[in-house]
Structure 1
Amino acid sequence: MADVLRLSGIRKSYGDLHALDVIDLTIPDNAYVSLLGPSGSGKTTLLRVIAGFEDPDQGSVALGGRPIDNVQAHRRGIGFVFQNFALFPHLSVARNIAYGLENREVGALTDRAAIRRRVGEMIELVGLAGLEDRGVAQISGGQRQRVALARTLVTEPRLVLLDEPLGALDANLRARMRAELRSIRERLGVTFLHVTGSESEALAMGDIVLVLDRGRIAQSADADTIYNRPAAPSVARFLNCYNLFEGTLSGADFVGPAGRFPTAGSPRLTGGKTAYAVRYDRIQVRPISSALATDEVGVEGAFIASEYSGAAVNSFFALDSGQVVEVETHLSHRPPAAYAPQERYGLVWKRDLALLFA
């Protein structure tokens, strides 16, 4: 698969803040790429450098094998969908979509019939038929999102950058727009680079998931690899589904404030500082009198509270070290257990389901 975008040695600082710290990255053509990271990790800065809104302090950007470092933003052939949509409030849906075709510097369309045809095709593609003459203040947030996407796609960019495009939508609409964005991208065969702070959104949408940590790419892989084999403790933390334990290795054991965990059989990963990770849904809650099997590891904790999220219940237990351990129980597996407040329970997992970073 050919690369549509290549970044080489990109650095960007604002005073003493290193927003981007040596970014080397290739993005394939015809792919949906999610860029995940917490606030302040450099996600939006990276998009702005790619789009040409910001100049890097160092490094180069190439699109389709052609350097574009000295090419102005509006001449790069890159589309940008802003989080706040950035629509023209005085124009109709159709006129918003047509604006880029009519006003671009190179190849502006003047043939009214051609403009109507292109805009009509895009309106059908994004599901806005019947709303062409509405003002953008007269349509819903999800429909405005589609207008912003259509306005970008109608100019046929090689790459589309989406800066948290679902952040302004309610939960139900976000879920629906995920599927629609993927479907639209697949029909057009263009690459989407979708920035988000939501781990579930990144994993659900990306053929490739990039995790950005303090201005560096911490991991680039498919969603299954990111979820099951995070490359570093920082990546596991961003995913918001792992209990992370601090400590050091002592022989074949991991030793920390939470206790001594035998590591034989636990996958070892090299990335970041030494840590031990267990996913929320890998832990069983048992009476403290229950014996451990030879392939199991366990700690004791006092029950604090549970949160119901529809498909699952997340329960929280305080260890003697003060750390809180989260346990996720999927309701499709078994009915939720009732735990007594402050009662002590055994928290048990299989050794081969834990990850050791060392």
Structure 2
Amino acid sequence: MLNLSGVTRRYGDTVALKDLNLIVPEDTYMSLLGASGSGKTTLLRLIAGFEEPDAGQLWLDGERLDGKAPHKRDIGFVFQNFALFPHLSVQENVEFGLKHRETAACTDPRELADRAAEALQLVGLDGFGHRGVGEISGGQKQRVALARTLVTEPRIVLLDEPLGALDANLRNRMCDELRAIRERLKVSFLHVTGSETEALTMGDTVAVLSDGKIAQADGSTKLFTRPQNAAAARHLNAWNLLGGTARGGALETPAGSFQLPRTLADGTQGQIALRFDQLGVSDPDSVPGGHSHFTARYVTGEFNGPTALAFFRAPDGALIQVVDHLGEPRLPELTEGRTYALHYAPEDALLFEGAAT
């Protein structure tokens, strides 16, 4: 188990990570989701030992990590750009860590070749050892980088946006393969990504990194359906957030007045969260019974294959998104510039305390 406690990392006046706490359990695939510049790579570099925290502690299987050299941590790191040696063959790349590590280095050519072949077979590249790095595809390079990491039998594997350089089709295939490899090895993977879809697809658990802290760490389904705070909801790119002030049992926002799903003291700042796929659209005089609603002007639509997004402008200019699944379409034909009622079941709305950021 990896345990980070009160970890802080500063760069001059900039605080990249602030009093961060995170637990990565044994035998799990955890996704770490965060926006660009949120500190995701910094966090990985602290775990790997490429940087040291300004405060806090890091533990792996009960052993203190901070202050220990990277090559003594038994941690695997798969870089975003793969970091393969172009002058070495695929087999030589995989053998490199075994051959040059400080302790228990493997120098027997036969053992090196056998262990490299086993690692390549594990990632589906049996028979590729003789090839040059320039002779294989991007997806194959990704697998070579993973094999080079796994052959050293690390206690945990860190993956820094490992699918970012791959095309969409290959990315989907590698998602399945990475999960299958991890399950066979029973080693924890910590997979950093800026894609909410990738994070939810890959992770048994998904941790959201926001403002230098973990906003929420939960199972992917629970995180998506019931985020605990506005920061987590915002990073999922599936929730509309409307901020305002509580008064008389409602949240008064520039977009309208919203019934509060729970009690909030008058004058308290809060945000109503409405999920894209839980908003319906109708004429203002045709709102379904029992539904709450507010009005917004239809701007445009965006076709995404199996889904379509409809974009609306609230009276205050806030952009509201509504998703439609083309297999079961539920939205009426929309006219640009026309005002519609956006309605929802009151129990589907979430309320987060605090002002909008």
Could you state the TM-score of these two structures normalised by the residue count of structure 2? 0.95
* Corresponding position of 1:143: 140
SS at match of 1:274: strand
The 3 A distance-change label for structure 1 pair 198 and 60 is same
Partners of 2:153 and 2:276 lie apart in 1 by: 43
* Corresponding position of 1:282: 278
The 3 A distance-change label for structure 1 pair 5 and 78 is same
Between 151-160 and 21-30, the greater mean CA deviation after superposition: 21-30
SS at match of 1:234: helix
Partners of 2:282 and 2:23 lie apart in 1 by: 47
Contact 2:273 2:350 survives alignment (8 Å): yes
Contact 2:281 2:332 survives alignment (8 Å): no
SS at match of 1:87: coil
SS at match of 2:131: coil
Task: Give the counterpart of 2:251 among 244, 248, 254.
Answer: 254
The 3 A distance-change label for structure 1 pair 231 and 335 is closer
* Corresponding position of 1:7: 4
Contact 1:267 1:356 survives alignment (8 Å): no
SS at match of 1:193: strand
Task: Give the counterpart of 2:129 among 102, 124, 132.
Answer: 132
The 3 A distance-change label for structure 1 pair 148 and 267 is farther
* Corresponding position of 1:108: 105
Q: Are 1:310 and 2:299 an aligned pair?
A: no
Amino acid at match of 1:315: A
Contact 1:313 1:336 survives alignment (8 Å): no
SS at match of 2:45: helix
Gaps (5+ residues) in structure 1?
A: none
| 1:334 Cα deviation from its structure 2 partner | 2.3
The 3 A distance-change label for structure 1 pair 234 and 263 is same
- Counterparts of 1:290-329 in structure 2, within 5 Å, are 290-293=286-289, 295-329=290-324
Partners of 2:255 and 2:123 lie apart in 1 by: 52
| 1:154 Cα deviation from its structure 2 partner | 0.2
Q: Are 1:164 and 2:161 an aligned pair?
A: yes
How many corresponding residue pairs? 350
| 1:338 Cα deviation from its structure 2 partner | 2.5
SS at match of 2:292: strand
Contact 1:317 1:324 survives alignment (8 Å): yes
Q: Are 1:343 and 2:338 an aligned pair?
A: yes
| 1:263 Cα deviation from its structure 2 partner | 2.3
Identity %: 49
| 1:337 Cα deviation from its structure 2 partner | 3.9
Runs of 4+ more than 3 Å apart = none
Contact 1:233 1:273 survives alignment (8 Å): no
Amino acid at match of 1:239: L
Amino acid at match of 2:86: P
| 1:94 Cα deviation from its structure 2 partner | 0.9
Partners of 1:138 and 1:69 lie apart in 2 by: 39
SS at match of 2:126: coil
Partners of 1:302 and 1:274 lie apart in 2 by: 24
